[in-house]
Structure 1
Amino acid sequence: MQTKEVRGPVQPVVEVVDIAKTYAGAGGVPALDGVSVAFARGTFCAVMGPSGSGKSTLLHCAAGLDRPDRGDVRLGGEDIGRLKEPALTRARRRRVGFVFQSYNLMDSLTVWQNVLLPRKLAGDRPDKAWAREVIARVGLSGREHDRPGQLSGGQRQRVALARALAARPEVIFADEPTGALDLSTGREVLTLLREAVDDFGTSVVMVTHDPASAAWADRVVFLADGRIVSELGYPTSEQIAAQMMAVSA
Structure 2
Amino acid sequence: MTPTVVEVLDVTKSYPGSAGVRALDGVSVGFAAGTFCAVMGPSGSGKSTLLHCAAGLDRPDSGRVLLAGQEISGLREPKLTTVRRRRVGFVFQSYNLMDSLSVWHNVLLPQRLAGVRPDRSWAREVMRRVGLAGRENDRPGQLSGGQRQRVALARALAGRPEVIFADEPTGALDLSTGREVLALLREAVDGFGTAVIMVTHDPAAAAWADRVVFLADGRIVAELADPTVEKVAAQMTAVSAR
- Per mean C-alpha deviation after superposition, the further-off stretch among 122-131 and 21-30 is 21-30
**Which of the numbers 4, 12, 16 marks the counterpart of 1:12?**
4
| In structure 2, distance between residues paired with 1:28 and 1:22 | 7
Matched, 1:68 2:60: yes
| In structure 2, distance between residues paired with 1:226 and 1:191 | 29
**Which of the numbers 196, 216, 221 marks the counterpart of 2:213?**
221
Please name the residue that 1:59 is paired with: 51
| In structure 1, distance between residues paired with 2:135 and 2:57 | 30
- TM-score, reference length from structure 2: 0.99
**Which of the numbers 163, 166, 172 marks the counterpart of 1:174?**
166
Residue 130 of structure 1 deviates from its aligned partner by 0.3
**Percentage of pairs with the same residue:** 79
For structure 2, which runs of at least 5 residues remain unmatched after alignment?
none
Please name the residue that 2:155 is paired with: 163
Please name the residue that 2:189 is paired with: 197
Residue 85 of structure 1 deviates from its aligned partner by 1.3
Please name the residue that 1:43 is paired with: 35
Please name the residue that 1:3 is paired with: none
**Which of the numbers 13, 19, 31 marks the counterpart of 1:21?**
13
Q: Give the SS at the match of 1:192.
A: helix
| In structure 2, distance between residues paired with 1:193 and 1:213 | 11
- TM-score, reference length from structure 1: 0.96
| In structure 1, distance between residues paired with 2:18 and 2:177 | 35
Please name the residue that 1:183 is paired with: 175
Q: 1:100-140 CA distances to partner (integer Å, 9 max, x unpaired)?
A: 00000000000000000010000000000000001011101
Q: Which amino acid aligns with 1:188?
A: E
Please name the residue that 2:199 is paired with: 207
| In structure 2, distance between residues paired with 1:26 and 1:147 | 40
Q: Paired residues, what number? A: 241
Matched, 1:231 2:223: yes
Q: 1:21-50 CA distances to partner (integer Å, 9 max, x unpaired)?
A: 000022221000000000000000000000
Please name the residue that 2:91 is paired with: 99
Residue 84 of structure 1 deviates from its aligned partner by 1.0
| In structure 2, distance between residues paired with 1:75 and 1:218 | 20
For structure 1, which runs of at least 5 residues remain unmatched after alignment?
1-8
| In structure 2, distance between residues paired with 1:11 and 1:59 | 19
| In structure 2, distance between residues paired with 1:237 and 1:98 | 25
**Which of the numbers 234, 240, 244 marks the counterpart of 2:232?**
240
